[in-house]
């Protein structure tokens, strides 16, 4: 999920909850005569000292006087109220430290039971880093020039800081990139000290990342691995991630008399416990959302079930519907209700309003009993049996289909398999952010080499043959660490705040487990070998060839998608042998897809041609404001047949098993 996804979806969220009190249950006792006044809520403002030493009082009996005594700290010089504040601040800081130490000690004991988690090179970047540094050292003149450039930047920064200290108005020598939310607090610009810290960090991090990216004569994937690691490292060491160099966190600590830090360490301990000894940073208030109550609420029935899926048919909202129904196969890494978060942005509800009979596959959250399930099993029990059940329920001999993300990769493979078998049940196929050609598959490629796969295999073996859902969540979070890790680290731990209720992040954290056989096949055959695009993928004894697929195809991609990059999706679109309509939407992997027309957000581009590259396609594309859904709906209706009486899922040939959203979606990891 991209940063823009989070920002845009957050603006749509209407859930709210009162902020929890940061007050601890066992506060130090305060004498009655020194009871502090009730403090008023603090407004954000430039950092200033909140505790001021009053004028020196008259000499007190028993207090030592003499040279230097006027400058020495003397508790008796503080008023009773100020003394109470100091005592409370000190007590909260001490308790915060004890809480953090206890949580870390407990986590260390748990991690000691899992030696694989204590790897000296958990990101498998050691050999790549050695090669890149070797190339750098082989060109000493480049290093000397780079060091001179860095020193020059530092010199400019020192001169700028000096001029500003003298009262001049000075333009910054470096500024954060557009969209960088780490330095939004006014003190990062208005306070000369924090401004200098910020600019010093930006100078250094930009220099390090540029130094690596300019290395020559290195294998592209090796260089890309080091670039990713260096970006991750420099992001981690941003001054905003540390209490002593974060003005907002310091201001909150003073204003709350240390309660923010105590609450932050309590949040830290809770997240360590929730992660079983590994830090699982809370991104939202998980208790605010209930599946089937305030998310995934579109009415319908479960009309079919096997080991792999529950097939949901949703209640029509129009008196007539198009004859050919639509069957949606979302990714099994996440759960289907991304299509039905809230009524106002629910794609499922919107499609039923267009007169479409909607079926959705709700994938199982597999346990150890399903560890041996394969990609072929998901094809047969997922798409083959799911579409067969939908056809029986609707009384038709063909269906339209959608594949979202990895569900689209499976759908494309199944289309090629059906073509080889002469099976023509699929009238059309639509792909949301789905890849078939993985040669430019984005940063996820960095997590699919054999070193990573060996680690994954060990992890899955330790879990009985499945990959924990948290492992998948961690991988996706790393791809956007500033937005999905460090922003919550600062909010939850340094500021001591509760994360805001946010349905999209609730869904994002509701990851499913992965069967070992399925997951390793997917990573090796698609990311590792790019076998489908090369015509080398064999399933069920059949070599798959996408060029033989003549089914009409609609391909949606998103301009800022970091999981299924537009260039990668476009390459896959050109592999099909039939008519292909390609559309590019604004935003990223989630908000680019889930963009209801009523929101009137973003834009999309269309072009009926399909030239050699996405850049050539874009050069002649037409931009249209707002959602791409109406464009797709028009395309879909042309392939959905005439109108027939609406189909009640409770009265079809298949007996309803339970109400939507079903039971599979409620199984947590």
Q: Which residues are catalytic?
A: 405
* DSSP strand pairing (658-659 vs 300-305): antiparallel
CA dist 324 and 573 (Å) reads 24
Q: In the numeric block, which tokens belong to residue 382? A: 């997922």
352 with 358: CB under 8 angstroms?
yes
Nearest to 144 by CA among 57, 211, 191: 211
Residue found under tokens 């199982």 = 364
CB 367 within 8 A of CB 295: no
Return the bridge partners of 400, or none: 326, 428
**Cα 107 to Cα 117, 121, 278, distances in angstroms:** 12, 19, 7
489-523 as b/e: b if 16+ CB within 10 A: bbbbbbbbbbbbbbbbbbbbbbbbbbbbbbbbbbb
Terminal Cα distance for the chain, rounded: 20
3-state secondary structure of 564: coil
Residue 73 neighbours by CB under 8 Å, 6+ apart = none
Say if strands 300-305 and 580-585 run parallel, antiparallel, or are unpaired. unpaired
Q: Report residue 52 CA to chain centroid gap.
A: 44
> Which has the closest alpha carbon to 48: 176, 186, 163?
186
**What span, in angstroms and rounded, lies between the C-alpha atoms of 386 and 407?**
13
Contact partners, residue 275, CB within 8 Å, separation at least 6: 470
The SS3 assignment for 357 reads coil
How large is the angle between the packed helices 259-274 and 80-112, nearest 10 degrees? Answer: 10
- CA pair distance 138, 130, nearest whole angstrom: 12
**Structure token digits, residue 635:** 């395309």
What backbone torsions phi and psi does residue 162 show, to the nearest 5 degrees? -65, -45
Nearest Cα neighbor of 500 from 326, 313, 288, 651 is 288
For residue 27, with 0-12 CB atoms within 10 Å meaning exposed, 13-18 middle and 19 or more buried, which class applies?
A: middle
Q: How many CA atoms lie within 13 A of 242 on its CB side?
A: 11
Three-point CA angle 655, 656, 659, nearest 5°: 175
Task: Report how far residue 230's alpha carbon sits from residue 224's, in angstroms, rounded to the nearest whole number.
Answer: 10
């Amino acid at each position: 999920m991209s940063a823009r996804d989070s920002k845009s979806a957050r603006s749509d969220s209407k859930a709210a909850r009162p902020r929890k009190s940061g007050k601890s249950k066992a506060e130090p006792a305060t004498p009655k005569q020194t009871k502090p006044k009730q403090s008023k809520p603090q407004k954000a403002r430039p950092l200033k000292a909140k505790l001021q030493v009053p004028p020196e009082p008259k000499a007190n009996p028993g207090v030592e006087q003499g040279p230097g005594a006027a400058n020495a700290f003397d508790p008796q010089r503080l008023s009773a109220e100020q003394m109470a504040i100091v005592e409370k601040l000190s007590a909260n800081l001490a308790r915060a430290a004890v809480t953090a130490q206890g949580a870390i000690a407990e986590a260390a004991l748990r991690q000691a039971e899992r030696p694989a988690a204590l790897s000296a090179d958990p990101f498998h970047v050691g050999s790549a880093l050695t090669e890149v540094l070797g190339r750098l050292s082989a060109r000493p003149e480049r290093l000397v020039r780079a060091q001179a450039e860095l020193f020059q930047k530092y010199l400019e920064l020192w001169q700028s800081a000096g001029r500003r200290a003298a009262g001049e108005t000075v333009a910054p020598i470096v500024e954060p990139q557009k969209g960088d939310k780490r330095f939004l607090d006014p003190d990062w610009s208005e306070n000369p000290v924090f401004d200098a810290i910020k600019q010093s960090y930006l100078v250094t991090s930009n220099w390090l990342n540029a130094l690596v990216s300019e290395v020559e004569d290195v294998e592209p994937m090796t260089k890309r691995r080091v670039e990713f690691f260096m970006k991750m490292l420099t992001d981690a060491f941003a001054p905003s991630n540390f209490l002593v160099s974060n003005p907002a966190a310091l201001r909150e600590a003073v204003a709350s008399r240390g309660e923010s830090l105590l609450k932050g360490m309590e949040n830290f301990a809770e997240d360590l416990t929730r992660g079983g000894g590994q830090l699982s940073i809370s991104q939202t208030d998980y208790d605010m959302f209930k599946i089937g109550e305030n998310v995934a609420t579109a009415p319908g029935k479960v009309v079919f079930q096997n080991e792999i899926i529950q097939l949901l048919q949703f209640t029509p909202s129009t008196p007539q519907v198009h004859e050919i129904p639509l069957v949606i196969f979302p990714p099994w890494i996440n759960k289907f209700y991304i299509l039905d978060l809230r009524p106002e942005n629910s794609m499922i509800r919107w499609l039923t309003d267009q007169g479409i009979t909607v079926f959705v596959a709700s994938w199982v959250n597999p346990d150890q009993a399903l560890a041996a399930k394969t990609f072929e099993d998901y094809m047969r029990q997922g798409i083959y049996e799911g579409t067969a059940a939908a056809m029986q329920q609707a009384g038709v001999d063909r269906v339209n289909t959608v594949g979202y993300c990895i569900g689209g990769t499976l759908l494309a493979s199944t289309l090629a398999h059906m073509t080889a078998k002469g099976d023509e049940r699929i009238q059309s196929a639509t792909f949301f952010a789905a890849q078939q050609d993985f040669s430019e598959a984005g940063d996820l490629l960095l997590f699919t080499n054999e070193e990573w796969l060996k680690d994954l295999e060990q992890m899955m073996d330790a879990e009985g043959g499945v990959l924990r859902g948290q492992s998948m969540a961690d991988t996706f979070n790393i791809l956007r660490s500033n937005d999905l890790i460090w922003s919550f680290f600062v909010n939850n731990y340094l500021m001591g705040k509760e994360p805001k209720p946010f349905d999209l992040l609730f869904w994002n954290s509701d990851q499913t487990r992965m069967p070992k056989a399925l997951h390793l096949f997917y990573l090796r055959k698609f990311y590792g070998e790019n076998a489908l695009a090369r015509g080398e993928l064999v399933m069920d004894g059949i070599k798959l060839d996408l060029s033989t697929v003549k089914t009409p195809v609609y391909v949606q991609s998103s301009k800022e998608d970091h999981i299924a990059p537009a260039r990668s999706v476009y390459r896959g679109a050109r592999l099909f042998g039939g008519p292909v309509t390609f559309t590019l939407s604004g935003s990223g992997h989630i908000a680019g897809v889930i963009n209801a027309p009523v929101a009137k957000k973003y834009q999309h581009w269309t072009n009926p041609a399909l030239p050699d590259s996405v850049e050539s396609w874009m050069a002649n594309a037409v931009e249209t404001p707002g959602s791409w859904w109406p464009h797709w709906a028009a395309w879909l209706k042309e392939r959905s047949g005439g109108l027939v009486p609406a189909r009640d899922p409770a009265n079809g040939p298949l007996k309803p098993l339970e109400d939507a959203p079903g039971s599979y979606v409620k199984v947590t990891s």
